Amino acid sequence: MASLKRLLLLALPCALTAGCRDVTTQTELNPAGPPMIRQVRLSEDFHSTSGSIIPRQTFAFGDHPDASEAEKGHVVTTGSPNGGAIRIVMDELLVGNYLERIACADGTYSDVPVGATPDDIAACAEAADVLPKTCVGEFAVCLGPNGPIGILDNEPRPVGDGAADTHQFIDDAVQIVCNDKKVPLNIAKSYWQPSGNQQKPAQGGLGVLGPAVILTPSLGLPTGAKCTIKFSEQVVDVDGVQVCAPVGGDITAQCTPGDTSAVSWTVDVLQNTVASPENNATGVGRTDALQFVFNASIDPATLAGITLKKGATNVAITPTLSGSTMNIVKVSGLNLDANSDYVFTFPVTFKDVLGGALPAPIVINFTTGA
């Protein structure tokens, strides 16, 4: 029943999630005019006066009367490179058929024709020997070269609900674009949520405003980059009008269908957040591993530019990457001279996995112990 509830969620327009066509709404939305982006919510790296970085959720676009001071909409210049999902809240429902596909029994995914109803989907969820008779017509889904494949329904009718068990976001339907380059998405964790409104619920707070497109980058965001959101021309409301973004998320203002350029934020620069040893450290163990944590996933090809020197002499090192997001640079296997000065340097050619480079070299001076 989970998938059927998804199609008929809270009596919302089932046509606006992949698979059906009723266009009635009870969500206090704004169907007049083009579909507008009302808010964009994401994680920001707040730099405290003590020098620490504190991740916090905020509005990079739009605002909300119930927002706290920290959450209020403002110019975001330190968006988190690894802040997880970005929530794009709409002022009305979109046609879900252009945002998601449904899973077929063979593991592939199928587009759902606009106009298909839950009955059409159920007709393609029958037993294999019945499918050639039921899964036919202009609204049939999961069709292969040899006929209907059937949708992925782990409990086919009459036991199951006759609805697709899995949906998949359509890549390129909505994009995060940073410095004019598309950011790779985790399709499995990106989705269309045709529910919610502007009322702050007790559970989830402002983090569940809707309806919303949720985009999860697979590799984070490129550091130092300026980002925006772009919708495919195919993504429209029930009147066939493209998405746009009014300045500041003010849905009483005008915006041109297809123009979402008003949405903009900048990602925090690539930087070292934890250093061991710290700059100017003394008494560093001669065989201690050197370890540096960064705020983004690192491009392994740029490790070769890192240097360790004693005076003008290079010390042979083999930096490695670790951490769940591959953001920790480590150098081990050292046997340094006692009571000696060393300089460890990350050059500006050192980059994150999406090409964001250090704004300036990072230089760590340290002295070994006896």
Cis peptide before 13 (omega within 30 of 0): no
Q: Identify the DSSP state of 79.
A: B
d(CA 128, CA 120): 16
- Residue 16: its pLDDT value, please? 47
- In 3D space, the residue among 326, 332, 322 whose CA is nearest the CA of residue 290 turns out to be 332
Give start-end residues of each CATH 2.60.40.1220 domain in the chain: 272-368
- Residue 25: its pLDDT value, please? 43
Amino acid code (one letter) for 303? L
Between 75 and 90, the higher pLDDT residue? 90
d(CA 72, CA 130): 55
Note whether 365 and 311 are within 8 A (CB). no
- Residue 6: its pLDDT value, please? 38
Question: 98 pLDDT band (50/70/90 cuts)?
Answer: very high
d(CA 170, CA 127): 27
In the chain, the percentage of residues whose pLDDT exceeds 90 is 78
132-138 mean pLDDT: 95
d(CA 347, CA 63): 39
Note whether 248 and 74 are within 8 A (CB). no
- Residue 27: its pLDDT value, please? 55
Q: Is the pLDDT of residue 11 over 60?
A: no
Question: 23 pLDDT band (50/70/90 cuts)?
Answer: very low
- In 3D space, the residue among 189, 196, 141, 151 whose CA is nearest the CA of residue 169 turns out to be 189
Q: Is the pLDDT of residue 180 over 60?
A: yes
Q: Is the pTM of this model over 0.75?
A: yes
Over residues 263-304, the pLDDT tens digits come to 999 999 999 999 999 999 999 999 999 999 999 999 999 999
Q: Identify the DSSP state of 118.
A: H
Cis peptide before 211 (omega within 30 of 0): yes
Note whether 194 and 17 are within 8 A (CB). yes
Domain 272-368 is found in CATH 2.60.40.1220: yes
d(CA 114, CA 128): 25
Mean residue pLDDT across the chain = 90
